[in-house]
Amino acid sequence: MSSASIFDGKSVLVTGGTGSFGTRLVDLLLRTTQASRVIVFSRDEYKQLAMEQAHSGDERFRLFLGDVRDGERLHRAFDGVDIVVHAAALKQIPAAEYNPFEFVKTNILGAQNIIDAAIDRGVSKVVALSTDKASSPANLYGATKLVSDRLFVAGNAYVGGKNTRFAVVRYGNVVGSRGSVITRLRRLRPGEEFRLTDERMTRFWITLDQSVQFVVRALEQMVGGEIFVRKIPSMKLTDLVAALAPEARVKVVGIRPGEKLHEEMISVAESRRTLDRGDHYVICPDIRWIGQQATAGEPVLDGFHYGSDTNDDWLDRDRLAALLDE
């Protein structure tokens, strides 16, 4: 990031700021920008304590204990905030199927609370993190994130004549994030069993630093209503296992409820509003609002679909090793 950035002199708040993404983004902002305040909003007091110790010498760093389900708490936390990055979410697919109401409260009602608080407090820009699971969702987690995406896009019309703008960033599996299959594979000892649901399965992959940098770019480029989708490589899970745990015993157990063989980040329906911008795509909004601006880019071909199985970019062992080194 250059010495001059959109964050200089601004107050930035990160919901879910103690997670993998939030921790890396906060560190980047404090190291490389002149943000006036960098605020972590999360409900995990233990992780907040660890972050407080890591950034104890920086007076710009702030902590705010709270839950995105609590609209009043968000209204208080957003006082004087210029930029919000919304990374808080419940994410585990099996947990969503058994606890659907909890996921609705956090991922959907929490999104509504973010939108209301941002408008009421005059926040300038909000970027919400999404997932490949939100495109043509096959499970409850993906469905809640699809609704969240739609809420943030529609939030631009909801503001009326005010200046608050909302956008979304959608990307795939993060290499080395908490709970990642890569982390599990690297911990396997020779001869240990790895349970694979289907040998045909493919997934998108992105590094944590790449995801953080992409969110920063989205904040710099957004005019409101976009869903930004970075072009990232795919890899078959069988190749991933062979690269990271070649001596593991692979047991194919069958696809789980709510699981896809291949992930998707842009559906055919969304492609009708999708622009190609070189190293990323932008899904444009299908509603209009006061002060809406056009987004630059080249329309994709009719019937376009961005899936992990039809991707033009594939990881081999050397590229995977390079990603892991990052």
pLDDT of residue 215: 98
Nearest to 188 by CA among 263, 262, 251: 251
Asked if residue 188 has pLDDT above 90, the reply is no
Q: How far apart are CA 51 and CA 65, in angstroms?
A: 13
| DSSP string computed for 267-302 | -HHHHTTEEE-SSEEEEPPSS--TT------EEPPT
pLDDT of residue 2: 45
Q: For the whole model, what pTM was predicted?
A: 0.94
> In 3-state terms, what secondary structure has residue 96?
helix
Q: Give tens-digit pLDDT for 11-26.
A: 999 999 999 999 999 9
Q: Give tens-digit pLDDT for 133-160.
A: 999 999 999 999 999 999 999 999 999 8
Q: At 253, which amino acid appears?
A: V
> In 3-state terms, what secondary structure has residue 91?
coil
Asked if residue 3 has pLDDT above 90, the reply is no
User: Which of 67-76, 232-241, 253-262 has the least mean pLDDT?
Assistant: 253-262
What's 247's DSSP letter?
Answer: T
133 catalytic, yes or no? yes
Q: Give tens-digit pLDDT for 270-315.
A: 999 999 999 999 999 998 887 888 888 999 999 999 999 999 999 9
Distances (CA, A) of 215 to 50, 57, 66, 306, 313: 24, 26, 23, 20, 21
Map out the domains of the chain with their CATH numbers. 11-172+207-231+265-306 (3.40.50.720)
Q: At 60, which amino acid appears?
A: R
Nearest to 212 by CA among 32, 70, 45, 52: 32
Q: Among the options 91, 125, 133, 236, which is catalytic?
A: 133
Asked if residue 241 has pLDDT above 50, the reply is yes
